[in-house]
Amino acid sequence: MIPVNEALQIISAETSPLNPESVALTEALGRVLAEEIRADSDLPPFDRSQMDGYAIRAEDVATTPARLRIAGESAAGRGWHHQLEAGAAVRIMTGAPVPAGADSVQQVELTRELENRSIVEILESVSPGRSIVKRGSEINSGEIVLRAGERINSAMVAVLASFGYANVNVATRPRVAILATGTELVPVDQKPGQDQIRDSNNYSIDAYAKLAGAETELLPLAGDDIEGLKRTIASAAERADLVVTSGGVSMGIYDFTKAALKQLGAEIFFERVALRPGKPTVFGRLPGGTLVFGLPGNPVSVSVTFNLFARPCLLQMQGATQTQLTELSALLAGPIKGSSDRESYLPAELTTNDQGQLLAKPLKWGGSSDFVAFARTAALIIVPTGVTSLAPGDTVRLLELPD
């Protein structure tokens, strides 16, 4: 039985990035960048007005009110490209280029036009640089604006578009084959018979894998038949980058998954982790190179072990710079129990107190099969090995679950 950190180190050492691919910008949302994104121009590309008003020379309005001749107009997409002379002003709109010779903009509310709109009266003086965004103040041409390994969000799409990336190199989505085992399982659209339950593991793994950027394939349910299990896993491995099974990895007489993997010639890197819940977690590599996780069958154990182990594996395949769940700290809002020989990852809701401090409220759950209570989980409370109990008000570490 190995510690969680050692298991994560093994997963990282055995996981290689997939080759990148080029996709259209409209298909890039949520993908992981596989190239550095550089600005192909200064931003803004010219001195730009922050508001509607008049582009002027500050020295011309040192004493106010001051009357200036309106020499022209600069609008967004249609600038006034002449030299502004002393005693003149240019009517200007938000986002429009500031003409040469102007060093400030006075907002329209502090002006008034006179003599049939040929003269503007500036009612208050301005300092040089007022209401002007200088060229290149946001970014200079050639600078890196986004880095390889970042996941593209909706705001980043705008950045990519601004710098001409109609197509962008991203990490290939890992292909994940998902297989739940156990003769007690029936498909979700069937009513369970006596001693049966509906499959939920395939669907939670599918959801978590998609959140991690993967393409998924749900395989038909596998009974407790080692030969059939071997055929299914071997076939899936031919088209997947990662196979994730659930169930059949403990010590029962019908737990065939680990035996099937070994008979297929899989190299097993670990098969038990000092973890609660989720001790009987298996990680290995099948002949041909496909990685495989054998997760426990209990639904809560599946969620915990997938997010602790399979999720960082999938993100590393995509070259993501951030592969681990986000770690937080919070005040404990209720008592919890740990384990003398295993690290515990216990479900919690997140709230705040009157002082704005983050609170971790332990969920009342009945163990690793209680997926109904687990459905409210926002984070996992980490209880170190050997810490058998924690009290309300204690500071705890958390891992925030994806949603």
Rounded to the nearest 5 percent, the helix, strand and coil shares of the chain are 20, 35, 45
Amino acid at 346: L
Amino acid at 205: I
C-alpha–C-alpha distance, residues 308 and 313, integer Å? 9
Q: What does the pLDDT read at residue 375?
A: 85
Burial class (CB in 10 A: 0-12, 13-18, 19+), 220: exposed
Q: Are 273 and 279 in contact (CB under 8 A)?
A: yes
Q: Maximum Cα–Cα distance for the chain, whole Å?
A: 98
Amino acid at 34: A
DSSP string, 51-84: SSEEEE-GGGGSSSSEEEEEEEEEBTTB---SPP
The enclosing H or E element of 337 equals strand 336-337
**What is the average per-residue pLDDT within 5-32?**
97
Look up residue 391 and give its two tokens: 């009290």
C-alpha–C-alpha distance, residues 216 and 284, integer Å? 19
Amino acid at 221: L
**Phi-psi map region of 30: left, alpha, beta (phi>0 left; psi -120 to 50 alpha):** left
Q: pLDDT of 65-93, one tens digit each?
A: 999 999 999 999 999 999 999 999 999 99
Q: What does the pLDDT read at residue 367?
A: 56
Sign, CA torsion 290/185/228/283: positive
C-alpha–C-alpha distance, residues 162 and 381, integer Å? 41
Q: How many CB atoms lie within 10 A of CB 376?
A: 12
Q: What does the pLDDT read at residue 261?
A: 94
Q: How many CB atoms lie within 10 A of CB 352?
A: 11
pLDDT for 253 beyond 70: no
DSSP string, 110-176: GEEEETTTTEEEE-S---TTTTEEPTTSSB-TT-EEE-TTPBP-HHHHHHHHHTT-SEEEEEPPPEE
pLDDT for 368 beyond 80: no
54, 75, 110, 180, 331 from 66: Cα distances, Å = 13, 23, 11, 80, 61
pLDDT for 366 beyond 70: no
Pairing of strands 343-352, 379-383: antiparallel
Q: What does the pLDDT read at residue 248?
A: 78
Q: pLDDT of 273-319, one tens digit each?
A: 999 999 999 999 999 999 999 999 889 999 999 999 999 999 999 99
Look up residue 292 and give its two tokens: 């495989």
Confidence of residue 365 (pLDDT cuts 50, 70, 90): low
**By percentage, how much of the chain surpasses pLDDT 70?**
97
pLDDT for 254 beyond 60: no
**What is the average per-residue pLDDT within 325-331?**
96
Pairing of strands 88-92, 111-114: unpaired
**What is the average per-residue pLDDT within 168-183?**
94
Q: pLDDT of 212-247, one tens digit each?
A: 999 999 998 887 788 989 999 999 999 999 999 998
What is this structure's pTM? 0.86
pLDDT for 11 beyond 90: yes
- The alpha-helical segments, DSSP class H, found in 142-268 are 154-162, 201-211, 226-237, 257-263
Print burial letters for 80-118: b (CB count within 10 Å at least 16), e (below 16).
Answer: beeebeeebbbbbbebbbbbebbbbbbbbebbeeeeeee
pLDDT for 376 beyond 90: no
Q: What does the pLDDT read at residue 118?
A: 95
Domains in the chain and their CATH numbers? 4-18+172-317 (3.40.980.10), 22-40+149-171 (3.90.105.10), 48-133 (2.170.190.11), 326-400 (2.40.340.10)
C-alpha–C-alpha distance, residues 319 and 202, integer Å? 25
